Structure 1
Amino acid sequence: MTDMEKRGGGLGVETRAEGDKRTLVGYAAVFNSDTTIGDYFIERIAPTAFDKAVKGDVRALIDHDTGRVIGRTASGTLRLAVDGRGLQVEIDVPDTADGRDLWTLVERKDISGMSFGFRVTHDEWDETGDLPHRTIHEVELYEVSAVAFPAYDDTSLGVRSLEAARAEADKSRDEAKRKKENDLAAKRRIAERKAMTEQKIRGIRQDATP
Structure 2
Amino acid sequence: MDDLVKRYMPVETIEIRGTENEGGSTTRTIGGYVVKFNQRSHLIWGEFYERVAKGAFARSLQENTIKAFWNHRSDFVLGSTKNGTLRLSEDDIGLAFELDLPNNTWGNDAYESIQRGDVDGVSFGFYVRSDSWQYLKDEDVYERTLLDVNLFEVSPTPFAAYPDSEVNQRSLEQLGITTKEQRKHEKEKILLEIDLLAIG
TM-score, normalised to structure 1, is: 0.73
Give the CA deviation at 1:28: 1.0
Paired residue type of 2:151? L
The aligned residue for residue 40 of structure 1 is 47
Gaps of 5+ in 1: 168-210
Q: Determine the C-alpha separation between the residues in 2 that align with 1:153 and 1:85.
A: 23
1:1-210 correspondence runs (5 A): 3-11=3-11, 12-19=13-20, 20-35=26-41, 36-55=43-62, 56-129=64-137, 130-150=140-160, 152=162, 155=165, 157=167, 159-166=169-176
The answer on whether the counterparts of 2:60 and 2:149 sit within 8 Å (CA) in structure 1 is yes
Paired residue type of 1:144? V
Q: Determine the C-alpha separation between the residues in 2 that align with 1:29 and 1:150.
A: 15
TM-score, normalised to structure 2, is: 0.77
Q: Determine the C-alpha separation between the residues in 1 that align with 2:8 and 2:95.
A: 11
1:54-85: CA deviation from partner (whole Å, max 9, x where unpaired): 22100001111111101000011100000111
The answer on whether the counterparts of 1:62 and 1:147 sit within 8 Å (CA) in structure 2 is yes
Q: In proportion to residue count, which structure has more strand? A: 2
The answer on whether the counterparts of 2:8 and 2:163 sit within 8 Å (CA) in structure 1 is no
The answer on whether the counterparts of 2:40 and 2:51 sit within 8 Å (CA) in structure 1 is yes
Query: Considering only aligned residues, what root-mean-square deviation do their CA atoms show, in Å?
Result: 1.8
Q: In proportion to residue count, which structure has more helix? A: 1
Q: Determine the C-alpha separation between the residues in 2 that align with 1:160 and 1:42.
A: 18
1:79-130: CA deviation from partner (whole Å, max 9, x where unpaired): 0000111111111001001111111111111111111011111001111431
1:135-189: CA deviation from partner (whole Å, max 9, x where unpaired): 110000010001112353553516444333328xxxxxxxxxxxxxxxxxxxxxx
Q: Determine the C-alpha separation between the residues in 2 that align with 1:151 and 1:64.
A: 15
Paired residue type of 2:95? L
Q: Give the SS at the match of 1:150.
A: coil
Paired residue type of 2:153? E
The aligned residue for residue 194 of structure 1 is none
Q: Give the SS at the match of 2:103.
A: coil
The answer on whether the counterparts of 2:123 and 2:154 sit within 8 Å (CA) in structure 1 is yes
Relative to 1, partners in 2 of residues 1:58 and 1:87: Cα closer, same or farther, differing over 3 Å?
same
Q: Give the SS at the match of 1:84.
A: coil
Task: Kindly report structure 1 stretches of 4+ aligned residues shifted beyond 2 Å.
Answer: 150-156, 158-167
Q: Give the SS at the match of 1:107.
A: helix
Gaps of 5+ in 2: 21-25, 178-200
Relative to 1, partners in 2 of residues 1:124 and 1:158: Cα closer, same or farther, differing over 3 Å?
farther
Question: How many residues matched?
Answer: 166
Paired residue type of 1:120? V
Q: Which has the larger radius of gyration?
A: 1
Q: Determine the C-alpha separation between the residues in 1 that align with 2:51 and 2:77.
A: 28
